[in-house]
């Protein structure tokens, strides 16, 4: 297949996660992504154990479909070469310490002035403006600061970090989306521009439903382990052999659920007749449902609920999740060319075909000779 971004050049001056996620998305969509690393390589290469051939899984996960060169940004000649090289690019993605590229003459305003067609994407911790704009940040710092961490867990536990880097991955995705939108605009105007994203803005955006509820009610949204307080029952429950989740998202589905659970009279009970009534009387209803579900295995309940048309699922571990026939059929898990491991592909397909992993995550400076010339030598 011809990938949508074939012919687009991306320079990635980014490390750790959010910036590299953006580069990986653009590279998997067909762009030629050249990753600029310090001579010692991206810090994320050392985020382990475990390691695969000396490289951490955290690095491998977000750096496929790229070429890597090492550049010493403390060397003037190297910076001069990089400045010229960026002039050949369509998109620049950077997430270095705020202000560091400006000190080298590689800030957004300087490069856009020199290369008007360049799309300059900056990934910030706290944003381009505001009193914290110069503060660097990592995922757990911004999960806490944005309020996202306080929404995770339940009212009887301390705040919990979400168990994956939702802000890094989300911000990388927004960055790629912004770059694509800027490419469309450039096709019409002939000019590039600046795309700014940040972990904080992503953390705030992920709470848009909670924010809308807060603005309407004036009440701080309650924390909930597996579901939502605004819809009942809409959460996880234990069974005799493990947990499942049930999502009776409307009154019609609650009628079906009540039938499966052997209580067809519940929908006529004024305490449970509407979702609003069920929210008000949630403790009694959820306790009753919980007792009933402990009488059978999760497989039995899944079969009964699915037969009745009630949305439900087992609460899987990662090994179970990726071995589910549906996950296998999705084609999300892709072999890495030339190596004996697999990575997750992009959750998008074109004409029924998922963009493939074409290039294994590179060694630091693997493409020095190819891009910089033989005088630089191999890493």
Which residues are known to be catalytic? 168
Return d(Cα 73, Cα 80) in angstroms, integer.
Answer: 10
Cis peptide upstream of residue 233 (ω within 30 degrees of 0): yes
As beta bridge partners, residue 120 has 92, 194
Do residues 136 and 199 make contact, with C-beta atoms less than 8 angstroms apart? no
Radius of gyration of the chain (CA): 25
Residue given tokens 């469309």 in the structure block: 184
Q: Is the four-CA dihedral 241, 151, 319, 232 of positive or negative sign?
A: positive
What angle is formed at CA 344 by the lines to CA 341 and CA 346, rounded to 5 degrees? 145
Return d(Cα 361, Cα 248) in angstroms, integer.
Answer: 43
């Amino acid at each position: 297949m011809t990938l949508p971004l074939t012919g687009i050049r991306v320079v990635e001056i980014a490390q750790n996660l959010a910036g590299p996620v953006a580069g990986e998305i653009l590279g998997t969509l067909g762009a030629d992504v050249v990753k600029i690393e310090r001579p010692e390589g991206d810090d994320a290469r050392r985020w382990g154990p475990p390691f695969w051939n000396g490289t951490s899984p955290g690095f491998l996960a977000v750096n496929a479909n790229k070429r890597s060169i090492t550049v010493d940004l403390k060397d003037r000649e190297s910076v001069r070469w990089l400045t010229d090289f960026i002039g050949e690019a369509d998109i620049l993605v950077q997430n270095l310490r705020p202000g560091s590229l400006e000190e080298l003459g590689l800030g957004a305003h300087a490069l856009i002035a020199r290369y008007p067609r360049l799309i300059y994407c900056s990934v910030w911790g706290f944003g381009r403006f505001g009193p914290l704009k110069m503060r660097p940040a990592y995922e757990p710092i911004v999960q806490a600061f944005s309020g996202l961490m306080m929404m995770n867990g339940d009212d009887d536990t301390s705040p919990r970090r979400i168990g994956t880097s939702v802000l890094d991955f989300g911000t990388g995705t927004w960055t790629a989306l912004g770059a694509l939108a800027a490419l469309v605009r450039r096709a019409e105007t002939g000019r590039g521009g600046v795309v700014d994203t940040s972990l904080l803005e992503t953390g705030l955006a992920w709470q848009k439903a909670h924010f809308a509820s807060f603005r309407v009610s004036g009440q701080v949204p309650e924390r909930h382990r597996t579901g939502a307080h605004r819809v009942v029952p809409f959460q996880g429950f234990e069974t005799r052999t493990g947990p499942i989740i049930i999502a009776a998202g409307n009154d019609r589905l609650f009628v079906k659920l009540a039938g499966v659970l052997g209580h067809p009279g519940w929908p006529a009970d004024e305490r449970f007749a509407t979702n609003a009534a069920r929210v008000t009387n949630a403790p009694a209803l959820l306790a009753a449902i919980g007792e009933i579900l402990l009488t059978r295995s999760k497989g039995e309940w899944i079969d009964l609920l699915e037969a009745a048309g009630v949305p439900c699922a087992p609460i899987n571990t990662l090994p179970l999740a990726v071995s589910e026939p549906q996950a296998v059929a999705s084609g999300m898990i892709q072999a890495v060319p030339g190596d004996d491991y697999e990575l997750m592909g992009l959750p998008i397909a074109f004409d029924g075909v998922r963009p493939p992993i074409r290039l294994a995550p590179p060694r630091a400076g693997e493409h020095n000779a190819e891009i910089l010339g033989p005088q630089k030598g191999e890493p």
